[in-house]
A and B are shown apart, each in its own frame.
Chain A
Amino acid sequence: MPGLLRAEARKIASTRLWWALLIPVSLLTVSINLFGSFVGMGLGDLGGDPSPVLLASLAYALGLTGVFAAVHGIVSAAGEFRHRTITTTYLASGGRGRVLVAKMLAAGVVGVGYAATAVLLGLVAGLIGQGDAWPPALGALATVAGTGLLVCWLWSVIGVALGTVLTNQVAVLVLGLVYILAGENVLSVALTSGGDRLVEPSAFARLAAYLPVNAGDVALYDLPARELAGERYGPLVVEQLVGVAEPPPGWVALLVLAVWAAAAAATGWVVGGRRDVT
């Protein structure tokens, strides 16, 4: 297993993809947090604490970073089928399951690296934009950052699993991105459309928070929203930001995303393990 991990790390390091994706991650997080800091500055002028806005900007940037983690995961798995390197990879490994696990760990490190970059650059950009160094409380920052690292790792895992199951790199990328960026929004709107979302949401409407992208976002926005609006109205802010009804607590939402990732990984294990590699 350590050998397979090293092999996967070398495969990642010897191609351009990982740093090619790091560029948009960096640009996005810097611009989002700069923009967020201007909003925060306005709040500061009104006598409020700008740090919840900075945390919310970080959460937003981390949510988008998860998309890049997923893309990297997809390509690191489906790319092996695209370039037909999967044959040699399987022949060298002594078990397809081990390859899948090694890929999830190695791609996960990249996803976590993206998240760490987003946190660091986002924090610096946010503080610079804010004008005065008024950093958020360390505990709150660590919670948002830690949640972001986990969310990104889980998206890496989901990406690797999707790439292993569907193998057609272009198709998985298109399907994955369309679902993450638009499909789940449409689904959420459809689910929450019946009845009054805020006052008395239907059972369908409640489901929306348990879809993978929404679950990750709920986990990320949970703390910034509570810092922003207080314990009582925090969940309402999350509802509005994510577009769900009655969101679960952040840690539950994180678990929900973990369950999705585990389901994807199990599917990858079974489908990838039985596939004929022709």
Chain B
Amino acid sequence: MQATDERGGRITAHALTKRFGSVEAVSDLSFTASPGVVTGFLGPNGSGKTTTLRMVLGLVAPTAGEARIGGARFCDLEQPARAVGAVLDAQGFHPGRAARAHLRAHAAAIGLPDGRADEVLELVGLTDAARRPVGGFSLGMRQRLSLATALLADPQTLVLDEPGNGLDPAGVAWLRSFLRGFAGSGRTVLFSSHLLAEVEQTADHLVVISHGRSVYQGGLDQLRASSRSRVLVRCASPARLAEELARGGLLELDTLPDGRLAVGGADPVKVGDAALAAGVAVYGLVEERADLEQLFFQLTGAGSAAAQDPGVHPAAR
């Protein structure tokens, strides 16, 4: 155990791979979640996020590769709950057990005084529901209780799997500021989501996976900067304009449902010149920068049909 490395609780995953039978859920995935920043772990449903987080937490054995928290593998942590707190699924409660009893049982397992249960209940705003059986809790209340459980031992690292599920807007805002504050105090936050908006507003650093593979890692700003713009043209003869553009080396062409021509990797000047050269009348010309949602779809290969038209966003659950 490298005691000095435990401070901040950096998470490192190295070449993590997990096969379930013939299905490779996670493939050769490496990433780092650093202290002081919120790392968002983004991917569509079924892309391997949960499996990865469970490998980090020693609940699932990797087929290959390894993960470390604060320099130590989870199974080598002497007091894991003090190193890392986890919110893995909001269903992890006995319906007949009261919230306070649930927390006191786990506090005992970690070796904490009973009073800590009441402290974390207050922290997540569940003091009034402390003595009620969890079976009657809403999904949002369960998420809060999960978080309270994760925070019992005041860990250096927080790992959260879809923590925003079931929270109302006020709850989401509260969680966001909580996670930012937690990371702001020099600790590590890794949270997964399939919702880009959630990650966009909370994370500083992004790990995007698709089909178990890493497709992007880096800052949000870099991701935005890397986004390619396209030009949408409404014109008299899209076919002739397309011909002219192709002659000029612009081959990323697409026809939108409304009849406009979308030209990728071009700027409006080039397209205008091409239209003039082709003798095609132009009725409208817009430059459009892809928003993050489209980028996400491009990266993960999900919802590509919806990504074609910026006016249609897939229903975010």
> What is the bound-complex CA distance between A91 and B78, given in angstroms?
11
**Interface assignment of B287: CB less than 8 Å from any CB of chain A:** no
> In the bound complex, do residue B80 and residue A91 qualify as a contact, i.e. CB atoms below 8 Å apart?
yes
> What is the bound-complex CA distance between A88 and B86, given in angstroms?
8
Task: Provide the main secondary structure of the chain A interface.
Answer: helix
> What is the bound-complex CA distance between A3 and B104, given in angstroms?
11
Residues of B within 8 A of A278 (CB): 50-51, 54, 59-60
Residue picked from A16, A90, A92, most chain B C-beta under 10 Å: A92
**Interface assignment of A79: CB less than 8 Å from any CB of chain B:** yes
> In the bound complex, do residue B92 and residue A277 qualify as a contact, i.e. CB atoms below 8 Å apart?
no
A1-34: CB near B (< 8 Å → 1, else 0) gives 0011011101100111000000000000000000
| B165 → A minimal CB distance (Å) | 15
Residues of A within 8 A of B58 (CB): 90
| A106 → B minimal CB distance (Å) | 11
Contact with B61, one of A6, A7, A15, A276 (Cβ below 8 angstroms): A276
Contact with A87, one of B51, B59, B80, B97 (Cβ below 8 angstroms): B59
**Interface assignment of A232: CB less than 8 Å from any CB of chain B:** no
**Residues from 289 to 307 in B contacting A, C-beta threshold 8 Å:** none
> What is the bound-complex CA distance between A209 and B79, given in angstroms?
45
> What is the bound-complex CA distance between A119 and B284, given in angstroms?
92
Closest A residue, CB atoms, query B146: A88
> In the bound complex, do residue B94 and residue A15 qualify as a contact, i.e. CB atoms below 8 Å apart?
yes
A92-B80, A94-B78 as given contacts; A6 in contact with B108, CB under 8 Å: yes
Closest A residue, CB atoms, query B88: A87
Residue picked from A7, A90, A91, most chain B C-beta under 10 Å: A91
> In the bound complex, do residue A7 and residue B95 qualify as a contact, i.e. CB atoms below 8 Å apart?
no
How many chain A residues sit at the interface, stated as a range, is 20 to 34
Closest A residue, CB atoms, query B112: A3
B65-107: CB near A (< 8 Å → 1, else 0) gives 0000000000001111100101011011111111001101110
Contact with A14, one of B57, B81, B92, B105 (Cβ below 8 angstroms): B105
Closest B residue, CB atoms, query A85: B92
Residues of B within 8 A of A277 (CB): 54, 59-60
**Interface assignment of B312: CB less than 8 Å from any CB of chain A:** no
A265-278: CB near B (< 8 Å → 1, else 0) gives 00000000010111
> In the bound complex, do residue B97 and residue A91 qualify as a contact, i.e. CB atoms below 8 Å apart?
no
Residues of A within 8 A of B96 (CB): 15-16
**Interface assignment of A193: CB less than 8 Å from any CB of chain B:** no
**Residues from 102 to 156 in B contacting A, C-beta threshold 8 Å:** 102, 104-106, 108-111, 149, 152
Residues of A within 8 A of B98 (CB): 14
> What is the bound-complex CA distance between A91 and B89, given in angstroms?
13
Contact with B110, one of A15, A92, A274 (Cβ below 8 angstroms): A92
**Interface assignment of A143: CB less than 8 Å from any CB of chain B:** no
Closest B residue, CB atoms, query A14: B101
> In the bound complex, do residue A10 and residue B101 qualify as a contact, i.e. CB atoms below 8 Å apart?
yes
Residues of A within 8 A of B89 (CB): 84, 87
| B98 → A minimal CB distance (Å) | 7
Residues of B within 8 A of A93 (CB): 80, 109
> What is the bound-complex CA distance between A85 and B149, given in angstroms?
11
Residues of B within 8 A of A185 (CB): none
> What is the bound-complex CA distance between A15 and B111, given in angstroms?
21
> What is the bound-complex CA distance between A16 and B104, given in angstroms?
17
Contact with A88, one of B60, B61, B79, B92 (Cβ below 8 angstroms): B92
**Interface assignment of A202: CB less than 8 Å from any CB of chain B:** no
Query: 18 A-B residue contacts at CB 8 Å?
Result: A3-B108, A7-B106, A10-B104, A10-B105, A14-B94, A14-B98, A83-B93, A83-B95, A84-B92, A87-B89, A88-B106, A89-B109, A91-B57, A91-B86, A92-B106, A94-B79, A277-B59, A278-B59
Closest 6 CB pairs of A and B: A7-B109, A14-B101, A6-B108, A10-B105, A277-B59, A7-B108
